[in-house]
Amino acid sequence: MSTVFVDLVTWAMATLQASPPVAPQIYRNRLRVVPTEVEQSLVVRMDKSSPALTAIAGAPIDWTSNFAVDCYLRADSDEEADEQVAPLMNSVFGRLLQPDPALDALDIYIEPGPIEWDFVATGENLVCATLLFTALQRTAAHNLESPQP
């Protein structure tokens, strides 16, 4: 059994891994430090989901779900880290927002959200740009599965 939220992350992972992959390493819900030998990597993870209020008991539930893609890059220098991560960010943004029949089949609509930058002070020149996306989804009334057959 799955949920629409798992389906969303699965879709994002598959889209980013499609040939050619956007980055050499793409992780799901990675909670550990990026290994020092990895120059570029992505982490796809759910952020939060909020249901809309429903007026009819037993009706499908519409959700606004936020998911994130963390774009990690080991930069050549501190001063240019934001410039160096930009191509990776652009690739993720373009790939996830292109029309996709698989997304239509899941009955999910994606919109871009805020972007956050984090310049990790570890002496490794590791930058993380997090692209947030909002997905509009629908579940059945009494479970977290899609109401689609």
Q: Is residue 144 part of a domain?
A: no
**Would you say 32 and 48 are in contact if contact means Cβ atoms under 8 Å apart?**
no
Give the confidence band of 147 by pLDDT, cuts at 50, 70, 90: low
114: pLDDT strictly greater than 90: yes
Q: Which amino acid is at 100?
A: D
Give the residues across from 33 on adjacent strands: none
The pLDDT, as a whole number, for residue 121 is 59
Q: What is the per-residue pLDDT across 62-77, written as a single tens digit (0 to 9) for each? A: 999 999 999 999 888 7
Q: Copy the structure tokens of residue 60.
A: 């499908």
Structural domain count of the chain:
1
Burial of 82 (0-12, 13-18, 19+ CB in 10 A): middle
Distance CA 126, CA 49 (A): 29
Q: Rounded to two decimals, what is the model's pTM?
A: 0.89
Greater confidence (123 vs 12) lies with 12
Q: Cα–Cα–Cα angle for 25, 100, 133, nearest 5°?
A: 60
Give the confidence band of 38 by pLDDT, cuts at 50, 70, 90: confident
Q: Is residue 122 part of a domain?
A: no
122: pLDDT strictly greater than 80: no
Q: Is residue 41 part of a domain?
A: yes
Q: Which domain holds residue 85?
A: 4-54+66-116+135-139
Q: Is residue 149 part of a domain?
A: no
Q: Where are the beta strands (DSSP E) in the chain?
A: 25-28, 40-51, 61-74, 109-120, 126-139
Q: Is residue 59 part of a domain?
A: no
Q: Is residue 128 part of a domain?
A: no
Q: Is residue 148 part of a domain?
A: no
Give the confidence band of 124 by pLDDT, cuts at 50, 70, 90: confident
Q: Can the peptide bond before residue 60 be classed as cis, meaning omega within 30 degrees of 0? A: no
**Would you say 15 and 107 are in contact if contact means Cβ atoms under 8 Å apart?**
no
Q: Copy the structure tokens of residue 57.
A: 């008991």
Percent of the chain having pLDDT more than 90?
54
Q: In this predicted structure, which of 4-8, 11-15, 103-107 has the lowest mean pLDDT?
A: 103-107
Q: Is residue 91 part of a domain?
A: yes
Q: Copy the structure tokens of residue 140.
A: 């059945």
Tell me the pLDDT of the chain averaged across its residues: 88
Q: What is the per-residue pLDDT across 20-30, written as a single tens digit (0 to 9) for each? A: 999 999 999 97
The dihedrals phi and psi of 118, each to the nearest 5 degrees, come to -135, 120
